Amino acid sequence: MLIRDPVHGDVHLSALETRVLDLPELQRLRGIKQLGTASLVYPGCVHTRFDHSLGACAAAHRIIDSLRNHGGAAIEAALADLIGCAALLHDVTHVPFGHTLEDERRLFPRHDKGTRLARLLDGPLGEHLARLQIKEPIAALLGAASPAAVPRWARQIVASTIDADLLDYLRRDAYFAGLRQDYDDRIYRYFTIDDGQLAINMTKHGMERPDARSETVALLRLRYFLTERVYYHHTKVAAGAMISKAVELAIPHGITDASLLTYNDWTLLDSLARVPDHGISDLVDGLRQRRLYKRGYALSAHSVGEAERARLVARFHESPTTRAEAEATLARALGCPPHAVIVYCPALTVMKEAAVLVRRPDGLAPLNRDAAHHLAEIAALEARYAALWRLYVFVPPELTAGAARAAHEFFGSPSEFRAP
């Protein structure tokens, strides 16, 4: 099959990949936007998890081609097919607004850490893959079965640090956000297999390759740029906080980790709107009409030290009960209903891509444990990424002034944010 993709151009799928693409569990991803609520800020960001899955497959095959053509690897067609299928399926466990619900509000386990994939593989998806005689290797490539079934480097093409997933979504997200940022395709030429692992080759003829280092660092800069401009944009975060609060309120009414796999973006909102809870319907109506909550209070890494950030994360991210108590306390101080106050406290931000394995003249090691004269550049980028952390209190616009005062008293620090 030949599919025209706006990011990668023509994408060629094998007969096996075509059959996997048509599976209902993968087709469901057509209804889940890749960037959740980002389209409320960047209207072009309506691309889906399905689009991204197709792009990850294309990127996986580009990595495989490079390993064959430039890395000297002998990769059998059957294994390349399996890697492509795994790339297509790597997000099959995603739920609507998944990163918001799992990573930011921590209502459910991460899509790649919980039991969702095991449940899917025990159900119709597993039956489909078994009929195609690929269930066991696909489970191994996706981390749901013994890793010994497939080479480690093959799993790392699908999910590691700089992998097919990253190489698609960086380019795709920038394109649909309308941002003129991209990486150079030369990055694909540097992939190699070293000691059974996927790595970036920064060595040629026994000497370090500055071009490989520059392209890798450029990729990390793009990751930082999109995180700053898109993924952590305060309006996107506010909208995401509203949907996650609505889902949290709906958990006693039957919303579960498993049931979310039956929804796409709009059917989830429709289901939430039918729950007999005024707070939920108010939040959903606000999202649909773009009547979004605003920042009433904000702290950042610029005024909160690392130890204090960790304490805040432990209290208001890792403990939903403590967070709910804080929201109720602030709501009482403001004289508003509990759903009108949302404490947003994400986990500490870590640029995992900086730990990509690289082959240097002195051996294989993570990039961020590089030689001393290069480490400062990577460390500075990691520090900037960590500094993107924010704690917010979101409230309806008319409550922002009061929220700043109440949250100052509650958290013990004045808000960094000054409303215009």
pLDDT tens track, the chain, 420 positions: 999 999 999 999 999 999 999 999 999 999 999 999 999 999 999 999 999 999 999 999 999 999 998 877 889 999 999 999 999 999 999 999 988 998 888 888 876 666 888 888 999 999 999 999 999 999 999 988 777 779 999 999 999 999 999 999 999 999 999 999 999 999 999 999 999 999 999 998 889 898 999 999 999 999 999 999 999 999 999 999 999 999 999 999 999 888 999 999 999 999 999 999 999 999 999 999 999 999 999 999 999 999 999 999 999 999 999 999 999 999 999 999 999 999 999 999 889 999 999 998 888 999 988 655 567 888 899 999 999 999 999 999 999 999 999 999 999 999 999 877
Distant-in-sequence, close-in-space partners of 90: CB < 8 Å, separation ≥ 6: 53, 56, 142, 158, 159, 164, 165
Gap between the Cα atoms of 333 and 320, Å rounded: 20
Rounded to two decimals, the pTM is 0.94
265: closest CA among 21, 47, 22, 42? 47
Euclidean distance between the first and final Cα of the chain, in Å? 54
Q: Are 297 and 417 in contact (CB under 8 A)?
A: yes
Q: What is the pLDDT of residue 114?
A: 63
pLDDT score at 333: 97
**Longest Cα pair distance anywhere in the chain, in angstroms?**
70
- Cα distances (Å, whole numbers) of residue 309 to 29, 160, 193, 206, 297: 35, 27, 38, 43, 16
Per-residue pLDDT, 371: 54
Query: Which three-class secondary structure state does DSSP give residue 389?
Result: coil
